[in-house]
Each structure stands twice: as structure tokens, then as C-alpha cells.
Amino acid sequence: MGKNIVQKIFGAHLVKGELKKGEQVSLRVDEVYTQDATGTMAWLQFEAMGLERVKIPCVVSYVDHNMIQSNHMNPDDHLFLQTAAARFGAWFSKPGNGICHQVNLERFARPGWIALGTDSHTPTNGGMGMIAIGVGGLDAATVMAGMPFEMKMPEVVLVRLTGRLKRPWVTAMDVILELLRRLTVKGGVGKIFEYGGPGVSDLNVTERATITNMGAELGATTSVFPADDRTAHFLRAQGREKDFSALGADDDAGYDDVVEIDLGSLEPLTAQPHSPDSVVPVREVAGRKVNQVCIGSCTNSSYQAMRAVASILRGKRVAEHVSLHINPGSKQVYEMIARDGSLSDMIAAGARMLEASCGPCIGMGGSPGTGHVSVRSYNRNFRGRCGNKDAFVFLANPLVCAAVAVKGEITDPSGTEIPVEEFSEPDTVIVNDNMLIAPLKDGSGIEIIKGPNIKDVPLKDPVGDEIRAEVLIKLGDNVTTDDIMPAGSQILPFRSNIPAISEYVFYNIDPTFAERAKKAKGHGGGIIVGGENYGQGSSREHAAIAPMYLGVVTVIAKSFARIHRANLINFGILPLSFSNAEDMDRIESGDVLVISGVRDALAASQQYRVTNATKGFDFTVVSDLSGRERDLMLSGGLLPFVKTRLS
């Protein structure tokens, strides 16, 4: 049988293991990139490994999240990252150069590569025909140290595209919203989505990247498109034609599953508050008054999308009661819309232009008011993520967003007379890399500068033989890492200071959590109980490190999201699943649970008997850790484990 794209790329990078679904595989990695909000931890961890230099061909450190600089903390982090990059041989993308995924697609991504990024939207690069996977900072640091990346071989699902999009009002965003509508936020767990079929040629690279970007919302490991003529065109425009190589699935390639989408059948869609899979046609919610519109982010920031947005705004006025924020994804796109006059059209219409950074997407400014409705061309609308848990965020394609900004209410512009121009991907772009700093040949003399907010990464003792701990909180399904460790302008600046940020764990759900956890820490620690898909969303390992710092010893859930599960293990928190999901109903917050023989069970059966000492009954839980993951748990986490291997 022929090979699919995933098998081809994995096969070319395989260090150990067999490419069979569910098998543990070790892969060689071509690129690692970090962003500032997760990168400070990654680089502190890399430093703690004691190496002279990164050991893989390409490492890039981006700064895009923590950009508000309301005090010393953000600029101190930026300087730390810049000096660490210089010291250890990485590229540095200065604040203002753009959002990591967009810049990486433009300047570094290559067909056939494997990249890891310390951000869950790293799969954006899958639009370029490469495997790009979001991981926690410590996993990234370990690979930068030269170790292969280990993972369980996911299922490969073919998304077969046919037909042509009904442009201009239906865009690539509607393709991924349709998949979310069908498959939900947990429909992609343990899967890679590989796109194929005749419809692929209808989409250019940045459109493909919109789809692979938001594939993260399916919980997928990653998503990938073939590398074809359109890929070659994109790379040529970037002056990088030498980075092109064609890549496609063999005609007789096999897949674990197939999903069919007729692009021509799609209409403008929107994800309603508060989940990216709560998708309906825009027309079904038309007429709802809107207070804010945000366009841009790493999901929808291509030059042609921005130009189309400008064409809708040209000569118009943003509605009186609407605040329109635009954050183009990269300096390249920003400079191009400035030079061609699109930026003037946006400003003239009344848009509030933001820098090329994450901004309102992660609540770094631009939060909507109480009870307000915000319509965004972004990828996540979890409650509270925008910086206000009493706001309502809808997600839609950027052209719909622009029409909504003018109209002042949710509107489906397709079939209306609203003027809009269509643009294809440009043949040439402005290449100006003056905010990208190349790695030094020898950085050994560079001093790494750490401001007062940058604290060492705390460590944990190896898991003990008995867990006797209190259930601190019991939650439902699809708990996000934004729920566990919120972002926003008040909290995000503490990303390099675990003691400080830990005060905010579960802050939007239960502000007493940190206090109670610290009390429980003195009596054996705390337990978190969750439902299905616990920890979906971001790669932020703070959602594991901060609870670990507060004394959380285990999370018992019905199931876990991939990146968060890995982060828990990396920081020595045991992820356990209920053998019988109904047992969750018998547990309450405040119960004390006792698990004996933990280390033996971990090393052998991975089945554990739990006694609810408060209510007096027993139940069983299981872990499904690989051999390496068990070793990590027994060593107290990945950092102590790696240090012993490197020394």
C-alpha cells in the first residue's frame, strides 16, 4: 500500500518505533520555536540542562504575547529571551515582528519538516506541508537539547475536499468551523488530519494555514496539507523557492478514517459563545447587536484577507457603538497593507490598529465590556479568555467580521450588495527581516540577563508510595487551560514567576482555590477532578507547574487533552482516569482520597485502588503512561530525568 503524507514525513524522521497507530515513536525534529509567554519557562529549563548550545538545526524565539509593557516585567522577559537566544544559538524575532505562527510560515516553514512549537497553534505550519506540533516548554527544551521527540503514533484522518469555496464571503475559516461543528472540540484527540482531494488546489497556503491553525480546536495532534504548486508559489514570493519540495500522498495511501467536505456547500459560519464548536450559520444569529469586532491574530492575518477587509471598510464608517480592533499577524503583512493604502482605508473607517501581536485574542488589551458582544476572526472564544468572563465572543471569518463592524450587528453579507474585492496570494511580498536576529556562531560570552520577575522553575519530589490528598475542585467536561491558568493583562506578565502566577489558578472559577490548595499542601496535597477532555486548548505548562507548586499531586479525569496530559507528567502530576466514569458522581470537593502502592502500580499494572476516606467507598482508576512517562513520574518529572541523562 502507498503512503500518506504523515507516514512519509514521520518515516523520514523516525529514530525509533514503528509507524503503527498507538505505538510509541521517537522522531528527529528540524525546528523548534518558542513564544514569550511559554518561552521564558522553556529557556529557563534549557539553561538548567547546562548545555552550551541548542543541538538542532533551527531554533527561533518569538515575542508576541506579552507586549503591553505596563511595567518592567514584559521588557525584562524580552531581554531575557533575546540574551538567551544569543547565548544558546537561536534566532530571535523582536517584539513587533509578528505572531510566531504567521512569521514562521512566512520565513522558516518548509515542506517535509517536523517542527515543535511551545504553542498549541504551531500546526499553522501544516499549511506548508510539514508536521508541526504544539508542545509544552519542557518538551521543547528537551528536543533543543538534542533528544528525539517521543509520542504515541496518532490516527491519520483524511479530510477529502471537493468543490470550490463560494468566494468571497465564504473563506477557509468556514471550512474549519464546519469541521468543528461536525467533530466537536474533542473530535480530533489522538488524530492527525491530513487534507487531500481536488478541493485542496482551491486553497492557497495562508488559507490552508487558517485551517491547520484552528485544527488545534479539534484537539488534534496536528493537521497537514500537501506541498504543491501553490506552496511553491508562496515560497517563491517569499524569496525562498529553494526551500520547496513537492509532497503528496500516494494514490493508494491508506487512512484510519475519512471525512468529506464539499467546499461549495459551505456558507458563512460562526462559533457562538463560549466554545469554538458551538457552530451555526451566521444567518441564524443575524441581527444581534455587536459592541466590538476584532480582526487578525494567527488565524486570519494573510495579506489578501487584510486587503479584502480594507476593501469592505473603504469609504465606510465603523458603526457608532462598535469598536473595531485589527491586529495583523506579521510585520510583513503590516508593511504591505501600509504601502498599498489598505491601512489608510482601515484607519479612515475608524479601526483601532494594534501592533502585530496576539493582543485581544489572549486578553492583552481590547477586552469587551460587561455583557458586550464581540465578533472575532480568532480561534478561541472560551469564557473569560478575552479578559471579561461576562462578555460574549463569536468567531467568524474576517470578511464577515468587517461587514459586522460596519453594520453594527451580526450579519451574513453573502448575497448582499456590500462591496468587497477579492485578492489572490501575491506573486511577490516585502521581505524585510530587520527584526529577525540571526544566531551567533559562538554565544559563549553572552550574559543572560534576568529581571527581578524571572524566577527559577520549581521542582517536585518523585511521586510517593501513598497519595492521601483532598479533592480541591470538581469540574465538568472540556475544562480549558484558560480555566486552569487564566491569561489576560493582569496575569500573563507573571509567566516567568511561578510563585506569583500560582495565586491565580482557577481564578475565574473559584478565586479561593489557591488559598485552599496551599492549606491542603501541608496535609498531603490536593487533587483535581475533571470530566472529558480535561486541559483542552493552550500548551501553557503553567496549567501544570502552578498547580504542582500549590501541592496538587494528581488529576483524576474521564479523559485528558494531549498537550496538557504531557505537561502534567513532565511536572510530576499523575494523570489518572476513572475505570468507571460514574464513580465521578460519588466524589465531592472536600473528600479525602487515599491511593496506596502508587509506585508499584505505576511500574506494573497501572491500576490503582482509591479509597474515599470521607465517604467510605472504594473505586479504581488507571493510568496509561508509556515506559518513558513512567520513568519521568518516578524521577519527579522531565527536568530531573533529562538532567541525569545529559550528565
Tell me how far, at minimum, the Cβ of 65 lies from ligand SF4, in Å. 6
Nearer to ligand SF4, 117 or 637 (CB): 117
Which of these is catalytic: 538, 539, 559, 623?
A: 538
Q: Among this protein's residues, is 233 annotated catalytic?
A: no
**Piece in contact with ligand SF4 (CB under 6 A), picked from 343-351, 356-364, 492-500, 542-550:** 356-364
497 binds, among ligand SF4, ligand MIC, none (CB under 5 to 8 A by kind): none
**Residue choice 30, 47, 106, 119 for contact with ligand SF4 (CB under 6 A):** 119
**Which option in ligand SF4, ligand MIC, none does residue 377 bind, with CB closer than 5 to 8 A by kind?**
none
Q: Is 579 helix (H, G, I), strand (E, B) or coil?
A: coil
The cell numbers describing 545, all together, are 507547574
Q: What is the spatial distance between Cα 396 and Cα 171, in angstroms, rounded to a whole number? A: 10
b/e sequence 402-429, b meaning 16+ C-beta within 10 Å = bbbbbbbbbbbbbeeebebeebebbeeb
Whole-number minimum distance, CB 162 to ligand SF4, in Å?
Answer: 29
CB of 518 to ligand SF4, least distance (A): 29
Residues in touch with ligand MIC (CB under 6 A): 37-38, 65, 119-121, 134, 362, 380, 487, 537-540
Nearest distance, CB of residue 383 and ligand SF4, angstroms: 16
User: Out of ligand SF4, ligand MIC, none, which partner does residue 178 contact, by CB within 5 to 8 A per kind?
Assistant: none
Distance CA 341, CA 575 (A): 53
The minimum distance between CB 92 and ligand SF4, in angstroms, equals: 18
Q: Which does 34 bind (CB under 5 to 8 A by kind): ligand SF4, ligand MIC, none?
A: none
Number of chain positions touching ligand SF4 (CB under 6 A): 11
| DSSP conformational letter for 181 | H
- For residue 184, the one-letter residue type is T
Three-class SS of residue 37?
Answer: helix
Q: What does the CA dihedral 76, 81, 86, 87 come to, rounded to 10 degrees?
A: 90
Region near ligand SF4 per CB under 6 A, out of 80-88, 237-245, 354-362, 426-434? 354-362
* Beta-bridge partners for 131: 114
Instruction: Provide the greatest CA pair distance for the chain.
Output: 71
Site string for ligand SF4, 13-52 (x = CB under 6 A): ----------------------------------------
CA 180 – CA 279 distance, rounded (Å): 7
Q: Compare residues 62 and 608 and give the one whose CB is closer to ligand SF4.
A: 62
CA nearest to 32, candidates 87, 91, 82: 91
User: Which one of ligand MIC, ligand SF4, none is in contact with 230 (Cβ closer than 5 to 8 A by kind)?
Assistant: none
Q: Is 600 a catalytic residue?
A: no
77 annotated active-site: no
Strand order in the sheet with 24-27: 14-16, 24-27, 149-152
Residue 344 C-alpha cell reads as 489608510
The backbone torsions φ and ψ at residue 151, rounded to the nearest 5 degrees and listed phi first, read: -155, 165
Q: Figure out which of the listed residues 29, 41, 99, 469 binds ligand SF4, where binding follows CB under 6 A.
A: 99
Kindly tell me which of 378 and 494 has the beta carbon lying closer to ligand SF4: 378
Least distance in angstroms from the C-beta of 220 to ligand MIC: 13
CA 67: distance to chain centroid? Answer: 18
Min CB(81)–ligand SF4 separation in Å: 16
Closer of 104 and 612 to ligand SF4 (Cβ): 104
Under 8 Å CB-to-CB from 250, ≥6 apart: which residues? 2, 3, 4
300 binds ligand SF4 (CB under 6 A): no
Exactly one of 36, 77, 119, 277 is catalytic; which is it?
Answer: 119
State the Cα torsion 376-377-383-387 to the nearest 10°: -60
Q: Which one of ligand MIC, ligand SF4, none interacts with residue 539, CB within 5 to 8 A by kind?
A: ligand MIC
Give the contact letters, 121-140, x = binds to ligand SF4 (CB under 6 A), - = no: x-------------------
Shortest spacing between CB 589 and ligand SF4, in angstroms? 31
| Helices vs strands, H then E, count in the chain | 20, 27
The total of other beta-carbon atoms located within 10 Å of residue 225's CB is 30
Residue of 86, 157, 298, 406 that binds ligand SF4 (CB under 6 A) = 298
* Residue whose entry in the numeric block shows the C-alpha cell 515582528: 97
Given 297, 374, 397, 567, the residue binding ligand SF4 (CB under 6 A): 297
Site mask for ligand SF4 (CB under 6 A), range 357-396, x = bound: -x--xx---------------xx-----------------
Pairing of strands 24-27, 14-16: antiparallel
Indicate the DSSP class of residue 437: E
Cα dist from 555 to 569, 571, 575, 622, whole Å: 10, 12, 5, 11
Q: Cβ-count burial of 512 within 10 angstroms (0-12 exposed, 13-18 middle, 19+ buried)?
A: exposed
378's CB contacts (< 8 A; 6+ apart) are: 294, 296, 297, 299, 300, 360, 361, 395
Closest CA to 562 of 139, 175, 176: 139
Active-site annotation holds for 64: yes
- The residues that are catalytic are 64-65, 119, 380, 538, 540
Q: Which positions touch ligand SF4 (CB under 6 A)?
A: 65, 99, 119, 121, 297-298, 358, 361-362, 378-379
